[in-house]
Amino acid sequence: MTHGRAAAPPRFPVTAGRPGRGLRQNYHMPLDPEIAARLKRTPDGLVPAIVQQYDTGEVLMLAWMDDEALHRTLTTGRATYWSRSRREYWVKGATSGNIQLVKQVALDCDGDTILLKVDQVGAACHTGDRTCFDADVLQANGPS
């Protein structure tokens, strides 16, 4: 820091609180480099995350994560995504209360897809449906 000037605001949020009490020290640390090295991202830096109800196996939705969203998901236990339309982080259920408690996080064989097993509180879909796939079945019991 340059002497003789007022301190500039920090470029990234810092965590308030006394050390050892309420200070989530991992919150603003980057994603574990060993995990980051295994991710294969889109040109936008994102990885699709399939979200599944951990006990029933229902596929609830698909969302997108960047490294920071994955880091927050792993460290907070609440599913956190990157909203491509709003261009911001999005803690699922932060406004609706329909949160997702993280039970398991896995990467696929290529490192380009995440599978998130969660316990979904309430409806996963913003339409009020339990899953985002309930309303629009194109084909059932098709040829096999």
Interacting residues with its own copies (CB under 8 A): 35, 38, 48, 50, 52, 56-59, 61-62, 74, 76-77, 101-113, 115, 119, 125-127, 129, 132-133, 135-144
70, containing H or E segment: helix 67-76
What is each CA distance from 101 to 40, 129, 143, in whole angstroms? Answer: 25, 18, 37
Whole-angstrom distance, CA of residue 111 vs CA of residue 36:
10
110 is in an annotated binding site: yes
108 is in an annotated binding site: yes
136 is in an annotated binding site: no
Instruction: Provide, rounded to whole angstroms, the least separation between the CB of residue 14 and its own copies.
Output: 21
Span between the terminal Cα atoms of the chain, in Å: 68
**Binding site members for Mg(2+):** 108, 110, 112
Annotated binding-site positions for Zn(2+): 109, 125, 132
